């Protein structure tokens, strides 16, 4: 039985690629208003689990609900409309468009418009203004306002990660799933990204993020879930998880 403050509850989630079972998660709960870190060695199935839960990939089996609604077979834009959005390990910014255009496209894409249509079809003036207002607010928050009209391709790796997070927030989600938000980011920007993540949590948002760096995980997580070979092998509060034998096994390889 799921705890009363579970926002996302998943059961029996399986994803196979040919003979490989990339994900077989018996049970997973993500607590509302908390930061949950998803850890585990390369190939553990973390990204695949994100893909499946967020509707970017199909599962072979399993069911999961978000905020009490079954979203198991919903495509990504319907999941986003329910309030759950995700970012990708490799950022999806469009380098030949401006930062602002990337923000505006994200808003329409997450609402289910096909990308080509969203690029070509104008919106009503009032809708456009509302989206721009929201985008400017987020660019300000992530300190990207000065890059607003520059090509996204001119952003540094870290700034691209910030833009990716800003884009995810365009639909005012209740939960964000961040796949390695700190990967390839310099230490100064890492601190700022961590600050943004805790700030979102403090505002009541639910955050689930994939991360390798244990110091980072220990520093900001309320709960840690460890995957290995597709399964959840351990979970617990950050202080306990580093000493958990299953976690040590997972990282050292059995």
C-beta of 47 vs 91, nearer to Mg ion: 47
Interface characters, 6-25, with ligand ADP (x: CB under 6 A): -----------x--x-x---
Q: How far is the CB of 22 from ligand ADP (least distance, A)?
A: 3
Contact between 181 and ligand ADP per CB under 6 A: no
Give min distance, CB of 53 to ligand ADP, in A: 12
Q: Which is nearer to ligand ADP, 46 or 201 (CB)?
A: 46
Q: Hey, which residues does 178 pair with through a beta bridge?
A: 209
Burial status of residue 48 (CB atoms within 10 A of its CB: 0-12, 13-18, 19 or more): buried
Considering CB distances under 5 to 8 angstroms, the limit depending on partner class, which of ligand ADP, Mg ion, none binds residue 250? none
CB 132 within 8 A of CB 196: no
Phi-psi region of 18 (alpha: psi -120 to 50; beta: other; left: phi over 0): left
Q: Which of 7, 15, 44, 47 lies at the binding interface for Mg ion (CB under 5 A)?
A: 47
Closest CA to 152 of 104, 210, 200, 190: 104
Number of residues in contact with Mg ion, rule: CB under 5 A? 3
Q: How far is the CB of 49 from ligand ADP (least distance, A)?
A: 7
Distance between CA atoms of 97 and 16, rounded to whole angstroms?
36
Closer to ligand ADP by CB, 44 or 234: give it: 44
Window 86-145: residues binding ligand ADP (CB under 6 A): none
Backbone angles phi, psi at 59, to 5 degrees: -95, 155
Question: What crossing angle do the helices spanning 187-202 and 157-168 adopt, rounded to 10°?
Answer: 10
The interface partner of residue 8, options being Mg ion, ligand ADP, none and the CB cut-off 5 to 8 Å by kind, is none
Name the binder of 17 from ligand ADP, Mg ion, none, CB < 5-8 A by kind: ligand ADP
Name which of 38 and 139 has its Cβ closer to Mg ion: 38
Q: Which does residue 43 bind out of Mg ion, ligand ADP, none, counting CB within 5 to 8 angstroms by kind? A: ligand ADP
Q: What is the smallest separation between the CB atom of 44 and ligand ADP, expressed in angstroms? A: 4
**Cβ 241 vs Cβ 226: under 8 Å:** yes
* Residue of 251, 204, 203, 209 lying closest to 229 (CA atoms): 251
What kind and span of H or E run contains 150?
none
Given candidates 6, 13, 47, 232, which one binds ligand ADP under the rule CB under 6 A? 47
Cα 37 from chain centroid (whole Å):
11
Read off the tokens for 92.
């999806």
Site of interaction with Mg ion (CB under 5 A): 46-47, 89
Name the residues that contact ligand ADP, by CB under 6 A.
17, 20, 22, 40, 42-48
């Amino acid at each position: 039985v799921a705890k009363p403050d579970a926002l996302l509850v998943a059961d029996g989630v399986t994803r196979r690629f040919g003979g490989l079972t990339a994900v077989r998660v018996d049970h997973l709960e993500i607590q509302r208003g908390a930061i949950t870190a998803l850890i585990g060695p390369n190939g553990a199935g973390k990204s695949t689990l994100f893909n499946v839960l967020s509707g970017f990939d199909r599962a072979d089996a399993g069911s999961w609900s978000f905020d009490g609604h079954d979203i198991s077979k919903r495509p990504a834009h319907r999941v986003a409309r329910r309030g759950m959005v995700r970012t990708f390990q490799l950022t999806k910014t469009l380098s030949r468009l401006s930062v602002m255009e990337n923000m505006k496209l994200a808003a329409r894409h997450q609402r289910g418009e096909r990308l080509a249509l969203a690029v070509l079809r104008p919106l009503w003036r009032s809708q456009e203004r509302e989206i721009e207002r929201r985008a400017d607010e987020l660019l300000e928050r992530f300190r990207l306002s000065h890059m607003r009209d520059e090509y996204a391709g001119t952003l540094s790796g870290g700034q691209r990660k910030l833009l990716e997070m800003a884009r995810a927030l365009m639909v005012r989600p209740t939960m964000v799933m961040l796949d390695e938000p700190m990967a390839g980011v310099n230490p100064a920007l890492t601190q700022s990204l961590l600050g943004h993540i805790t700030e979102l949590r403090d505002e009541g948002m639910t955050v689930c993020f994939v991360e390798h760096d244990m110091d980072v995980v220990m520093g900001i997580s309320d709960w840690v879930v460890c995957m290995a070979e597709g399964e959840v092998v351990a979970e617990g509060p950050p202080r306990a998880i580093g000493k958990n034998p299953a976690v040590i096994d997972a990282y050292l390889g059995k």
